[in-house]
Amino acid sequence: KILHFGACRVSMSMTEIRAGFTAIKANIQSRDPIRTLSILSHPQSLHKVKSSDRCCITRHLLTFYVDKVFKHCRTEDSFVNRKISSIANSFLSARRKLGQCREQNNCVCGEESTEKFKQILANYEGLNVTSAAMKSLGELDILLDWMEKSR
Amino acid sequence: SGELYCSLPNPRNVHFESINMKNVLHWSAPEGTGDGVLYRVKYSVYGVGKWIRKPECRNINRTWCDLSNETSDYEEQYYASVKAFLNGTCSDWVETTRFNPLTDTKIDPPMVSVSSTDKSISIILTAPEKWKRSPEEESVSLLQVYPGLQYNVSVLNKKTKKRWFFSINNNTLVVPWLEPGTAYCVSAQIHVTTPVLDSSFSK
Amino acid sequence: GDALLPAPQSISILSTNMKHFLSWSPVVVQGATVRYSVEFQGEYEREYANGSWIPISECSLTTATVCNLTDDISATVAYRLRVRAELGAMRSRWGTLKGFFNRVTTSLTPPLLRVLADGYHLLVELADMGPAFQFRVLYWKKGQESRVQQKVMKEVSSVVHLDTMEAGAEYCVKAQTHVEAINRSSSFSPTQCVRAQRDTSMWL
């Protein structure tokens, strides 16, 4: 599927990523008992980000998941670990394509996206690392829903 | 009222059933309890710090509660919870899994209107609307919610029993050069690639 | 214990139409059943997870000498693959596939296509090849090769309507698959031609 982030157009295997997440969603979300906090959607929603900032925020978020989240989500369940690997490698592949947009200057970071991403990091650092990582992984559909809205 | 000592078995299978984003909480009565069980319902927006009681579902004896109004923003995700009461005792609160209206709803088939001339049929498809609070409220087609929405149309020649499929993005289809005097049955399905959501075929 | 049990040899991968199979030659120990375990490592595991390897449960302690990796090789990055032999408590060293495997190198075969004419209607039937596949179908009226038309189809459940034909004319069709995830297409299927029904006065 071709996703549009402002001037940046990226082909991403959203169907495969969503299938991978759907397969482990109940398992992962059941490991997150905190209902009152969100990494991605509160206090500020991803859905309020300006179109021009979409590429930068997406690149930040893919990096956030690759650098900070997936590595702290190893579980005792081999099936879950395999699906996490599949998603992580897909994110790596997608981030590389967004990097190409950045080189073509189509992925500029505005003030709002920088602020927005700071808020997400603050939410993340407000929890212990394993809880924060598992919560972030459980919110992957929030990220995918938002990314696809940009179609 | 202070919290009662809750020894009543819990409600079971607490879950959302959603069609076109009409989101109704359903559950089964606690094991082994006959009539007379009453229920209370509360819900919360994921990431927001409070549970909100649903007054219209306070002390009800039915085992469902329509939370469409409270869960209509499909950019949010939700939890709901149910507690049972009987003869002065109660159960624990039992929660749903996290509910995402955008990916967890089911979609009705499209409305299909067919007109024909002696050699062709014209098909107009209408995607269902998202649930709305009242008839006066502005309608939102699921086409707006799922921009990648497509239609699969099946045309069955009743004489030869041959069935053809069409996959279309817009909502009209004309099939010319058909056999005069022959009955054709048309049905259609909605197909959303991601998130993967398929309606059943219309009657 | 490792030295007694040799590592599997001739490790190779066969990847066709986005289905990926690792195979190796059996380790033979007289009178004993040798089992094998397979693991994979994506680019993410190499770069961000300390080079960790992930076991494939369906190919753990298996007696087969082939393993279906399709569900695990689900990103377009470079993967490393390894297999070892196990006999009771004994384990061989890992045998690792030479180099990397990236699904972008999968071989794509033309789709199985059947072209039908039903009255004035041009129809095609395409064998389903899985969710990763789209079908690009080209069709033209014989003799008008310069006016080729195209339809791209995603899911193909059964007989799909392509177009209506002029009475009595012959139409030709060919198709190729396209995999968006690796941005590659197969070669075209052989061309098939069918003729539309002649104009019959009964219908005028």
Residues C52 and A88: their CA atoms lie apart, in Å, by 13
Least confident of A19-23, A76-80, A106-110: A106-110
Radius of gyration of chain A (CA): 15
Nearest one of B72, B91, B74 to B28, comparing CA atoms: B91
The partner residue sitting opposite C157, judged by closest CB among B155, B165, B175, is: B165
Q: Is C72 close to A82, i.e. CB distance below 8 A?
A: yes
Are residue B63 and residue B81 in the same domain, yes or no? yes
Are residue B23 and residue B98 in the same domain, yes or no? yes
Nearest one of C147, C118, C159 to B177, comparing CA atoms: C118
pLDDT for the residue numbered C43: 97
Provide the CATH number for the domain around residue B189.
2.60.40.10
Which residues have a Cβ under 8 Å from the Cβ of B112 and sit 6 or more positions away?
B123, B124, B125, B186, B187, B188, B202
C118 contacts in B (CB within 8 Å)?
A: 157, 160, 162, 164
Please identify which residue in the block is written with the tokens 């989240």.
A69
pLDDT for the residue numbered C171: 97
Q: Is B194 close to A30, i.e. CB distance below 8 A?
A: no
B196 contacts in A (CB within 8 Å)?
A: 15, 18-19, 22
B191 contacts in C (CB within 8 Å)?
A: 155
The partner residue sitting opposite B167, judged by closest CB among C119, C120, C153, is: C153
End residue of a domain, out of B73, B102, B131 = B102
Is any Cβ of chain C less than 8 angstroms from the Cβ of A15? yes
Are residue B84 and residue B38 in the same domain, yes or no? yes
Are residue B95 and residue B132 in the same domain, yes or no? no
Are residue B128 and residue B74 in the same domain, yes or no? no
For C161, half-sphere exposure in the C-beta direction (CA atoms, 13 angstrom radius) is 26
pLDDT for the residue numbered C203: 47
C121, C161 Cβ separation under 8 angstroms: yes
Is any Cβ of chain B less than 8 angstroms from the Cβ of A20? no
B125, B153 Cβ separation under 8 angstroms: yes
Measured from the Cβ of residue A34, the count of other Cβ atoms closer than 10 Å reads 14
- Please give the order of strands across the beta sheet that includes B121-126: B111-116, B121-126, B172-175
Residues of A (57-96) whose Cβ lies below 8 Å from C: 66-67, 70-71, 78-79, 81-82, 85-86, 88-93
Are residue B22 and residue B98 in the same domain, yes or no? yes
pLDDT for the residue numbered A50: 83
Q: What is the pLDDT of residues A22-36, one digit of tens each?
A: 999 999 999 999 999
pLDDT category of residue A108 using cuts at 50, 70 and 90: confident
Is any Cβ of chain A less than 8 angstroms from the Cβ of B48? yes
Q: Is C72 close to A67, i.e. CB distance below 8 A?
A: no
Paired strand residues for B129: B141
End residue of a domain, out of B69, B85, B102 = B102
End residue of a domain, out of B102, B122, B157 = B102
Q: What does chain A come to in residues? A: 151
Are residue B118 and residue B88 in the same domain, yes or no? no
Residues C135 and A45: their CA atoms lie apart, in Å, by 38
Q: What is the pLDDT of residues C62-117, one digit of tens each?
A: 999 999 999 999 999 999 999 999 999 999 999 999 999 999 999 999 999 999 99
Angle at C11 between CA C7 and CA C15, to 5 degrees: 155
**Within a domain: B123:** yes
Q: What is the pLDDT of residues C149-163, one digit of tens each?
A: 999 998 776 899 999
Are residue B97 and residue B124 in the same domain, yes or no? no
pLDDT for the residue numbered B1: 47
SS3 assignment, position B198: strand
**Within a domain: B4:** no
Residues B34 and B29: their CA atoms lie apart, in Å, by 8
Which residue range forms the structural domain that includes residue B98?
12-102
pTM to 2 decimal places: 0.91
Q: Which domains does chain A have, with CATH numbers?
A: 2-149 (1.20.1250.10)
Q: Is B163 close to C158, i.e. CB distance below 8 A?
A: yes
Residues B46 and B66: their CA atoms lie apart, in Å, by 18
Least confident of A2-11, B165-174, C138-147: A2-11
Residues A90 and A71: their CA atoms lie apart, in Å, by 14
Quickly count helices (H) and strands (E) in chain C.
1, 16
A135 contacts in B (CB within 8 Å)?
A: none
**Within a domain: B162:** yes
Are residue B151 and residue B188 in the same domain, yes or no? yes
Both tokens of B70, joined, read 């409270």
pLDDT for the residue numbered C120: 93
Q: Which residues of chain B have pLDDT under 70?
A: 1-5
Q: Total domain count for chain B?
A: 2
pLDDT for the residue numbered A46: 84
**Within a domain: B203:** no
Quickly count helices (H) and strands (E) in chain A.
6, 2
ipTM score over 0.85, yes or no = yes
